[in-house]
Structure 1
Amino acid sequence: MDELRRKGLDKMNEVYGWEMPDMPGEYFALTADHLFGTIWTRPGLSMRDKRIMTLTVVTALGITDLAEIQANAAMANEELTEDELKEMAIFLTHYLGFPLGSKLDGAVTKVAKQRKKAAERGGGEDKKANVNAALNMHSGSTLDDQ
């Protein structure tokens, strides 16, 4: 594995909050190497800044599953609290409208409940489901397809 791919996978792991496997395919390579190895690693914005911008965009586009992934990672990495994420939903509702803002609020509520249940059980969240969602988004495949 070359240095750029390792850098990209390391950043993907940080962004998503779990261990992302290296995957075959040109689309995944472009995502891992360029998006995460080059763009997400640029200086100038903190991870919190990048997370807020990403959450804003996925909320504006109504991509609830990615909002859940990003909210979970933001809480796991202690970049944003549940209260801050809820406040984002309230703020964005006034710019994006109630349907989109409420989707973010719902995503945060769902993730917070899952994290609380996992903490009570003493285990982590369903990492395989999270990895599969991210892989499907970035490569069109899942761990089970490999």
Structure 2
Amino acid sequence: MAPDKSDRSDRSTKSERFAGLPEARRRGLERMEQVYGFEMTDGTGDFFRYTVEHLFGDIWQRPGLTDRDRRLFLIGLLVGQRANDVLGIQIPAAYANDELDADALRELVILACHYDGWPNGSRMSAVVEDTIAKAKRAAADREESTRDEGAPDPSKS
């Protein structure tokens, strides 16, 4: 199982991009960035406001559950609802944030197959394997880039 680095609710990114926004909005957007692992931009409308200010500004800030706990529960709900589009956000975020490693994600697939049926578990498996493959490719690209940066420039020989 992945090391539990997931209780990040006490860390604040204090993003300069959100300076000047109302406190609830800033807090929610910063939390969304922590949870999803990518940069957020502010949006408009009531749906976005409730998502940012209430769901991420309040609910994802509450004590009692780690981010990993919340993510496991959420993934289970999404599998049961066949919400594969949202699984395509949550599973990569859990993997990138070290909340769930490849072995844990694959175990969840096996569990999902038995409790929610093979077709749905198979769809989840596709999301999991795609997530792992993309992460491996990104790591290989980073490694190659790092190697290239340290290599002597052949044009200067």
Normalised to the residue count of structure 1, the TM-score between the two structures is 0.80
Instruction: Tell me which residue corresponds to 2:124.
Output: 104
Deviations 1:43-67 (A, max 9, x none): 1111000000111111111121211
In the alignment, is residue 48 of structure 1 matched against residue 68 of structure 2? yes
Cα distance in 2, alignment partners of residues 61 and 37 from structure 1? 25
Deviations 1:20-44 (A, max 9, x none): 1111211100110011111111111
Cα distance in 1, alignment partners of residues 34 and 81 from structure 2? 23
Give 1:106 deviation, angstroms.
1.1
Cα distance in 2, alignment partners of residues 47 and 108 from structure 1? 19
Cα distance in 1, alignment partners of residues 25 and 120 from structure 2? 34
Instruction: Tell me which residue corresponds to 1:122.
Output: 142
Instruction: Tell me which residue corresponds to 1:14.
Output: 34
Over aligned residue pairs, what C-alpha RMSD do you find? 1.3
Instruction: Tell me which residue corresponds to 1:129.
Output: none
Q: What is the correspondence of 1:56-135 to structure 2 with a 5 Å cutoff?
A: 56-122=76-142
Identity over aligned residues, as a percent? 41
Cα distance in 1, alignment partners of residues 137 and 60 from structure 2? 31
More helix by share: 1
Instruction: Tell me which residue corresponds to 1:23.
Output: 43
Q: Which letter maps to 2:58?
A: T
Instruction: Tell me which residue corresponds to 1:2.
Output: 22
Q: Which letter maps to 2:99?
A: E
Normalised to the residue count of structure 2, the TM-score between the two structures is 0.75
Q: Which letter maps to 2:47?
A: Y
Q: Which letter maps to 1:101?
A: G
Larger Cα-atom Rg: 2
Cα distance in 1, alignment partners of residues 45 and 140 from structure 2? 39
The runs of at least 4 aligned residues of structure 1 exceeding 4 Å deviation read none
Instruction: Tell me which residue corresponds to 1:39.
Output: 59
Give 1:117 deviation, angstroms.
1.1
Give 1:68 deviation, angstroms.
2.0
Q: Which letter maps to 2:88?
A: E
Cα distance in 2, alignment partners of residues 75 and 111 from structure 1? 8
How many pairs align? 123
